[in-house]
Structure 1
Amino acid sequence: MKLKHKVLVYNFLAFAVLFVLFRFILYFALAINSLYLSVIAAVSASVLAPKFAVAKIEGLDKIVMKWIFIKGFKIL
């Protein structure tokens, strides 16, 4: 599997897990329309999910991760 495809899968999985988690938490915490719950969960998940990318480091392609809770990039 190419690194670009792995990065795409990692980005999707990180977003999907956080979206489902936020969706269920908001469903039990708030009594509003399900469309609004989904929008709030999607925005929250997109802000808080880690971002993965392919970077060329020392001539090699490597997967790097940027997250709001860590400073800088983490090489995976």
Structure 2
Amino acid sequence: MSKKTKAFLYNLAGFMVFFVPTWVICTNVFGMEGFLPKMIALVISIFLSPKFQFIKTAEGDKIFMKWLFVKGIKEVK
């Protein structure tokens, strides 16, 4: 699997980890219906999920991660 594909899958997994529980909480705990709980879960997930970026460097292909809860940009091994 290429590193570009891995970065995409990491982004997807990181987003879904925050989206699904937030959506379930909005619908079941707060009793929201329709489009609103999905939009709330979307906005919260966009801000809280880590961002992964594939970059071609002189040393080779690398994946970097930036996250609200981690200071700076980290390389994913």
TM range (shorter): 0.7 to 0.9
Distance in 1 between residues matched to 2:6 and 2:67, nearest whole Å: 17
Deviation of the 1:56 alpha carbon = 3.6
**Aligned counterparts, 1:27-66, within 5 A:** 27-66=27-66
Distance in 1 between residues matched to 2:57 and 2:29, nearest whole Å: 44
Tell me, which stretches of 5 or more residues in structure 2 are unaligned?
A: none
Structure 1 residue 19 corresponds to structure 2 residue 19: yes
Question: Sequence identity, in percent?
Answer: 37
Tell me, which stretches of 5 or more residues in structure 1 are unaligned?
A: none
SS in 1 for 2:15: helix
1:14 partner amino acid: G
Tell me the TM-score normalized by structure 1.
Answer: 0.86
Deviation of the 1:24 alpha carbon = 1.4
Tell me the TM-score normalized by structure 2.
Answer: 0.85
Structure number with the higher strand fraction is 2
Q: Aligned pair count? A: 76
> CA-atom RMSD, angstroms?
1.5
